[in-house]
Amino acid sequence: MFSRVITAALFGIDAYRVDVETDVSAKLPSFNVVGLPDSAVRESRERVMSAIKNSGLPFPQGKITLNLAPADIKKEGSAFDLPIALGLLRAIGIISGDYVDNIYVVGELGLDGSVSPIKGMLSISILAKKEKADGIIVPIENAREAAIAQGAPVYPVSTLKEAVDFVCGNLDIAPFKASVQDVFMAASAYTADFSDVRGQEHVKRALEVAAAGGHNVLMIGPPGSGKTMLARRFPSILPPLSVEEALETTKIHSVAGVLPGETALVATRPFRAPHHTISDAGLIGGGAYPRPGEVSLAHHGVLFLDELPEFKKNVLEVMRQPMEDGFVTIGRAAVTLTFPSQFTLVSAMNPCPCGYFGDPYHECTCTPASIQNYVGRISGPLLDRIDIHIEVPAVKYHELSGPSSGDHSNDIRERVAASRRYQTKRFTDIPQVHCNAHMGTKLIREFCKLDEPSEALLRMAITKLGLSARAYDRILKLSRTIADLESSPDIAPHHVSEAIQYRSLDRKYWRGG
């Protein structure tokens, strides 16, 4: 007796169709799973057998051959349990009819027949919508996430017995519905606000410029100056996520298994802050069967690297390619996967090993050589991808004890969004360029033209202040963003002057000059 049940597996952050083909023949009892299953899939035999028996259903007797097609792609995970169980029961006639011919089934089974949630539910639901499936049977905990795709009807079940009764027509389950806009609006509020930060107005301004132009940022200051506090509030001033961006971000978090159970949609900009002991595989992604790393989990959001020089050099260097391209490709012997990684890098560091170089309230105990060696841990190619270097001094007492000052995040976000709209219009016909930070040399020459006073100011900065050559293009891009924040079609000298202040690490005293 033969049966087929449709399910899905993950390939990167997308899903593809898998047919669970089951054959039960009158031979000596055995249970074989073929089709490149991993250990979790092979172990499904024991889970499925116990779940069927403990649900009061008959388990097939004889030789069982189960194929996961296509058989040339490795299958992993426990989401095949429920479709395997239904396939076995259909093969022996417990489930009859053709209702399951075009319905997707996913879910992990417990030994008692309960159905547990799985990873990557949104990707599978989007596939079911694309394939015009008649429906999708999902664990009840995944129902809201599956319904976000607004595609095939979603039928949540909590036990194997419920799933069997439903496909046999003995149980009526109403399709689960969820409004994308309602879920989006309910989950799109930020808890932290820029007005919480006392003082540091010039740093807030630098972060506003970074948000407006999509520029990467490095904050340099002593311990306790508020670098981490500022970084954690940076997502709240970025332009709001669109529904399309939210769906793509949710897919990544769901596949990685970091989507909270009560969350159906990631509606705020992600903020990822890995510890400096992270490995290159943890940051970029990897594993025998590659999974998204921190750079992908920060897609459409912020990646915060605190104590930047403390990260291993090889970890920082492998980050250069995803920063440049907006995606990361991970190759293994059996498979090569590509994950999106379009994020804004916000990093922080002390000015020296002891942390107090330049601090008027604490004595620095570091030698010039140790300071240079400390700053030198960040390579030139990585610094080339960071447009803004801003110094964050210690906050003075009267600023800490005084009333809250500065704009709220909502006010800053409105200015940032207006600037981004200006840039979107400018780059309408230019692929892969969405904001000023993405401009290459050719576009900089086209859109960042300076008048004579501005050119003279920049020339003086390069020669008199000892700015490095790499600072030239960065200052032009920052000047363009600052002008956009003022809705100015031309770059003026005061735009260039402000941009020059955001290149601290290019000055002579940082480079041992």
Which residue, 99, 60, 59, 77, is CA-closest to 18? 77
Say how many CA atoms lie within 13 Å of 130 toward its Cβ.
11
What is the number of other CB atoms lying within 10 angstroms of the CB of residue 261?
Answer: 10
- Tell me the pLDDT tens digit for each residue of 353-388: 999 988 888 889 999 899 889 988 988 888 888 999
Distances (CA, A) of 172 to 52, 141, 307, 347: 21, 18, 56, 53
Query: From CA 499, how far away is CA 168, in angstroms rounded?
Result: 68
Residue 181, pLDDT score: 79
Location of structure tokens 């506003």? 208
What are the strands, taking DSSP E only, across 350-463? 388-391
- In which residue ranges of the chain is pLDDT below 70? 397-405, 507-513
In the prediction, which pLDDT does 400 show?
A: 66
Q: How many whole angstroms separate alpha carbon 99 and alpha carbon 45?
A: 25
How much is the pLDDT for 461? 86
Q: Report the C-alpha gap between 403 and 405 in whole angstroms.
A: 6
Query: How many residues are given for the chain?
Result: 513
Note the pLDDT tens digit of each residue in 232-284: 999 999 999 988 899 999 999 999 999 887 778 898 999 999 999 999 999 99
pLDDT at residue 509, rounded to an integer: 46
How high is the pLDDT of residue 168?
Answer: 92
Whole-angstrom CA distances from 305 to 45, 275, 309, 339, 342 are 44, 8, 9, 20, 16
Q: What is the DSSP letter of 437?
A: G
Host H or E run for residue 302: strand 302-305
Residue 401 pLDDT: 64
| Distance from C-alpha of 233 to C-alpha of 121, rounded to nearest angstrom | 30
Position 115 scores a pLDDT of 97
Radius of gyration of the chain from its Cα atoms, rounded to whole angstroms: 28
Alpha-carbon distance 215 to 209, whole Å? 8
Domains of the chain: 2-178 (3.30.230.10), 194-407 (3.40.50.300), 439-513 (no CATH)
| pTM for the model | 0.90
Look up tokens 């809705």; give the residue.
487
Sign for the pseudo-dihedral over CA of 205, 211, 214, 217? positive
Q: What percent of the chain has pLDDT over 70?
A: 97
Q: How far apart are the C-alpha atoms of 313 and 328, rounded to whole Å?
A: 18
User: Tens of pLDDT along 88-108?
Assistant: 999 999 998 778 889 999 999
